[in-house]
Amino acid sequence: MRVWRFWLSLLIGYSYCFYTNAADWPLFRGDRGLTGAAAGKLPEKLSLLWKFDAKGPVKASAVIANGMAYVGGDDDGKKGLKGKLYAIDLATGKQAWDFTCNDPIEASAMVLDGRVYAGSVDGFVYALDAKTGKELWKFETGDQITGAPNWTKSPDGKKTYVLVGSHDFFLYCLDAKTGEKVWEYESENYINGSPALTDGRTMFGGCDALLHVIDITKGEREKVINANSYIIGSVAADAGRVYVGHHDNEFLCIDLKAGKIVWNYKDRLFPYSSSPALTKDRVLFGGQDKRLHCLRRDNGEAVWTFATRGQVNSSPVVCDGKVLVGSNDGRLYMVSLDQGKQLWSYETDDSITASPAVAGGKVVIGSEDGTVYCFGVKVK
């Protein structure tokens, strides 16, 4: 009975992962597999709906839930550099509340069960009330947090756990309600990205050049796979395979069951720090070669590349046959999924390293010019 309850809880969790409301984008990359795929429709030309002044560079990717956008930033104010998490009304662009911590928030937040969870460069994980921004608890790690949190259910299905990595080399599993540590897993170097979840496992790559695969029931290592160079971004996981780029100019597809690299893609001598997006048959990611790459998922063959004027460290999102991605040239681009042709772009005043949040026909993204932008269709 106990085993049955565990697998039922996993089934419920993964159903949530793949069937999240199209009007929501509640965590980094949209779902717990970090696949970067959004539901709904998008026009080929977007209109600017509103701009929000974040008073400092925005490197964190936004999340969207219950009619609100939540995004972290660096508040470069008169009192010195602080971290901010803003709650912004998605319809109007007006601030509902803000939360201040000691250092910048550069990782995406996560919205779950009426709470917002976010890690900061100050080394703390914060849990806030989604409606008011009131701090409910905080958990201290040993170093800065640059990757977004993810979540899973406890083995009996009664509790919710928050998973987050830190530069102190540890992946932490925390009780979502109380912030108490359930387990911790030690890697061999910094953890930069967000942990992905699939099939009862969580996995992440780090600066130890390893893909760590962990049984989430106990926080114990199931296997490690050598990626041959350190991993800056987050992995995407689906159908028993993991996709990730690394610093040594290579993009990998890894089979989880076999524990080995299935194929690798290597083009120019530039690192990949962008997290990939997945469709049924394609994988897309940005490169420091200033290009967006589209490959076949089955064999890693290139389908097309799209050139920008700056490094592409932003992670792409796929929606309705279109791909959205930011560039260090300051532009947000929309290109066609089938051929990689530019459909639309919008220029900001500084680099875009954050990734788009796409939900309900709207796109929200921050720029290092200190502004959060929302695009969609203007209602006449």
Q: What is the mean pLDDT of residues 329-347?
A: 98
Q: Categorize the per-residue pLDDT at 114 as very low, low, confident or very high, splitting at 50, 70 and 90.
A: very high
- Flag whether pLDDT at 350 surpasses 50: yes
Q: Mapping DSSP to helix (H, G, I), strand (E, B) and coil, where does residue 4 land?
A: helix
Least confident of 12-26, 28-42, 184-198, 217-231: 12-26
Q: Categorize the per-residue pLDDT at 140 as very low, low, confident or very high, splitting at 50, 70 and 90.
A: very high
The average confidence (pLDDT) of the chain is: 92
- pLDDT for 5 equals 40
Least confident of 69-73, 245-249, 319-323: 245-249
- Flag whether pLDDT at 218 surpasses 60: yes
Q: Categorize the per-residue pLDDT at 76 as very low, low, confident or very high, splitting at 50, 70 and 90.
A: low
- pLDDT for 80 equals 62
Share of the chain above pLDDT 70, in %: 92
Q: What is the mean pLDDT of residues 164-181?
A: 98
- pLDDT for 78 equals 54
The helix (run of H) or strand (run of E) holding residue 343 is strand 342-347
**Could you tell me the two tokens for 181?**
């540590």
- pLDDT for 22 equals 67
Judge whether 165 and 208 are in contact, CB under 8 Å.
no
- d(Cα 53, Cα 44) in Å, to the nearest integer? 26
- d(Cα 92, Cα 224) in Å, to the nearest integer? 46
- d(Cα 49, Cα 379) in Å, to the nearest integer? 10
Strand ranges of the sheet holding 95-101, from the earlier edge strand across to the other edge: 63-65, 68-77, 80-89, 95-101
Q: What is the mean pLDDT of residues 314-332?
A: 98
Least confident of 2-11, 48-57, 123-132, 238-247: 2-11
CA angle, corner 347, sides to 345 and 353, nearest 5?
A: 95
- pLDDT for 14 equals 40
Residue 144: C-alpha distances to residues 32, 87, 162 (Å):
22, 22, 17
Per-residue pLDDT tens over the stretch 274-285: 999 999 999 999
CATH number of the domain bearing residue 126: 2.130.10.10
Q: What is the mean pLDDT of residues 26-48?
A: 96
- Flag whether pLDDT at 1 surpasses 70: no
- d(Cα 352, Cα 348) in Å, to the nearest integer? 8
- Flag whether pLDDT at 4 surpasses 80: no
- Flag whether pLDDT at 2 surpasses 50: no
Q: What is the mean pLDDT of residues 298-317?
A: 98
- pLDDT for 75 equals 74
Residues, the chain: 380
> What residue ranges in 176-275 does DSSP mark as E strands?
181-186, 196-198, 201-205, 210-215, 220-226, 236-238, 241-246, 250-255, 260-265
- Flag whether pLDDT at 340 surpasses 80: yes
Counting the structural domains of the chain, the total is 1
- pLDDT for 79 equals 57
- Flag whether pLDDT at 191 surpasses 50: yes
Q: Which domain holds residue 353?
A: 2-376
Least confident of 71-80, 281-290, 365-374: 71-80
**Could you tell me the two tokens for 102?**
């000691």
Upper half-sphere CA count for residue 358 (Cβ side, 13 Å): 27
- pLDDT for 379 equals 79
- Flag whether pLDDT at 10 surpasses 50: no
